[in-house]
Amino acid sequence: MDGERAKDHGEHCGGILELRPQVCNGGTLPDPIPHPPFPPVDDAFPPHNRSPPFPKIDFPKFDGENPRLWRDNCEMFFEVYVVHPSLKTRFAALNFKDPAAAWLQTVQRKGRITDWGQLCELMMGRFDWDQYQMLLNQFETLKQIGSVSEYHIEFERLAHGMLLYNDHYDDTFFVTRFMAGLKEEIRAAIALHRPQDVATASVLAAL
C-alpha cells in the first residue's frame, strides 16, 4: 500500500492544489518556461492612443477692469481644470491685484467669501456699475493717432467690451465709427469703397 502511494507520488509529483514541478530522473528541476518580456512603459500604449500634454493656463488676474470678461475667463478655467466649487473663491482671491485686491481684503474682514456666485455679485456691484459708460466715452472719443494697426487694435478692444453690455450694435454702426476716427487723408481715400465691416475698412486703410 505504501509502495503504491509512493509510486503515485513519484509519477505525479503533485500537491493537493496543483501539480508541482516533477523532481524525477535524478532529482533535477526542468528548465523554467521563459515568460515573454514586459513591454517598456512607453510601448505599453500605442502612440495614437496617448493624450497630448495638457497646456498650462494661468489663472486670469483681476485689477478692477473688464469684470465681465474676467468672470467669463474664470469660469472657463474652472471648467477646463474641473475646479471644485469650494476652491473657486480661493483661486480668485489669490489673483486679485492692485485696487481689486485692496477691495477684496476690506470685504473679507467681515468673513471669508466661499461662494463663487456671491463673490461675482459683490465684485460686479463694485467694479461693473460704470464700466459701460466708461467704454462708451472712450469709444466716442477714439481717434487714430499712430498707425492704422494700433488704432484698429484699440477700436476692437472697446467694441468687444461694449458688446458684453449691449449686443445690438451691428456692423454698420461699427464701420461708420471706425472710419470717423481715421485720419482725414486716409478716411477720404477709402470712403468711395464703402467697406461693409471694420476688417475690410482696416485693410483698405492700411493700404
- Segment 23-72, tens digit of pLDDT: 545 555 555 555 555 555 455 445 555 556 667 889 999 999 999 999 99
CA distance 42 to 77: 30
Q: Which of 48-52, 98-102, 139-143, 186-190 has the lowest mean pLDDT?
A: 48-52
* Domain identity same for 82 and 100: yes
Identify the pLDDT of residue 55: 75
* Domain identity same for 101 and 72: yes
Measure CA 204 to chain center: 35
Identify the pLDDT of residue 29: 53
Residue 33 lies in a domain: no
Residue 76 lies in a domain: yes
Query: Pick the residue with more confidence: 3 or 138?
Result: 138
CA distance 142 to 182: 9
* Domain identity same for 89 and 141: no
Residue 143 lies in a domain: yes
Identify the pLDDT of residue 57: 86
Tens digit of pLDDT for each residue in 125-158? 999 999 999 999 999 999 999 999 999 999 999 9
Place of cell 524525477: 24
Q: Which of 125, 138, 118, 127 is nearest to 97 (CA)?
A: 127
- At residue 96, what are phi and psi to the nearest 5 degrees? -80, 140
Residue 139 lies in a domain: yes
* Domain identity same for 166 and 120: no
Residue span of the structural domain in which 181 resides: 131-206
* Domain identity same for 147 and 202: yes
* Domain identity same for 90 and 145: no
Residue 161 CB neighbour total at 10 angstroms: 20
Domain boundary among 92, 127, 162: 127
Identify the pLDDT of residue 76: 95
Q: Which of 50-54, 97-101, 108-112 has the lowest mean pLDDT?
A: 50-54
Q: Which of 80, 118, 152 is nearest to 107 (CA)?
A: 118
* Domain identity same for 114 and 148: no
In the predicted model, what is the mean pLDDT of residues 112-131? Answer: 95
Q: Kindly tell me if the per-residue pLDDT of 16 is higher than 60.
A: no
Residue 2 lies in a domain: no
Number of domains in the chain: 2
* Domain identity same for 102 and 138: no
